[in-house]
Amino acid sequence: MPTSAAVACPHCAAANTSSSRFCESCGLALPETDPSGPRIIGDADFASNPAGVAFQQDELAKQMKKATNALLIVAVIQTGFGFLLYFLLQRSVQQGKVNGPVLLGTLFGVAALFWILYFWAKQSPFPATVVGLVIYSTLWLADLTVSLIQMSHSQGNTTPGAGPFNGIILRIIIIAVLFNGVKAGAKYRQLMQQSGAQ
């Protein structure tokens, strides 16, 4: 009957059988001689076998699809908000209190831009998501700046519920999803280059 090979304890150097999980001398855990569990891949790591590469590609593609859906959400919100304002401000526009063409042109222009980005992302998700993230973040910062300036001039006489932080949670979620999409797209490209080089 074959005997198990001895394994030296890294803590006390005592000899143990290869089937032992703990040292018979000091009681501390022994290193595994034949690890059978799956290798855990970190965020920055790449899979090393074809099955792992395929799985990683699927996961990154899902993240990029979420970013594409975020572009669609922005396009739908901007379009809906544009139509809502059109109906709410019709009287003010007719009385000359509000410059309707400029306001609505801006809203529908941004909506059209995000519709274009959405359809572009269906073909090329990575560049479309990068452009969408930059544009959305820039527009939000511009809106935030204008709102803060208006708030300082009005000296607190603002409508309840309105302000620079209105809808901030949704905006942060959209930016986070777009940012994750950009990260996933960059990693997807690296993964494709690495698998193509092998």
- Would you kindly state where each structural domain of the chain is located, as residue ranges? 1-30, 52-197
> Amino acid letter at 164?
P
- The residues with which 17 forms a beta bridge, in sequence order, are 6
- Tell me what pLDDT residue 1 has: 41
Of 50, 66, 63, 69, nearest in space to 188 by CA: 63
Cβ–Cβ under 8 Å, residues 16 and 30: yes
SS3 content of the chain, % helix, strand, coil (to 5): 65, 5, 30
Q: Cα separations (Å) of 8 from 2, 19, 25, 34, 188?
A: 19, 12, 11, 15, 43
Q: What's the pLDDT score for residue 91?
A: 72
Look up the pTM and report it: 0.63
57 contacts 49 by C-beta, under 8 angstroms: no
Tokens for 150?
């208006």
Selection from 128, 143, 139 nearest residue 178 by Cα? 128
- The reported pLDDT for the residue numbered 49 is 66
**Token code pair at residue 45:** 């790591």
User: Which residue type is seen at 122?
Assistant: K
Q: What is the C-alpha to C-alpha distance for residues 147 and 30, in angstroms, rounded to an integer?
A: 62
Q: Cα(65)–Cα(54) distance, rounded to whole angstroms?
A: 16
What is the per-residue pLDDT for 105? 83
Q: Which two tokens stand for residue 167?
A: 């809808």
pLDDT averages per 10-residue partition of the chain, 198 residues: 67 83 83 59 60 79 89 92 80 65 82 94 91 91 81 59 64 88 85 66
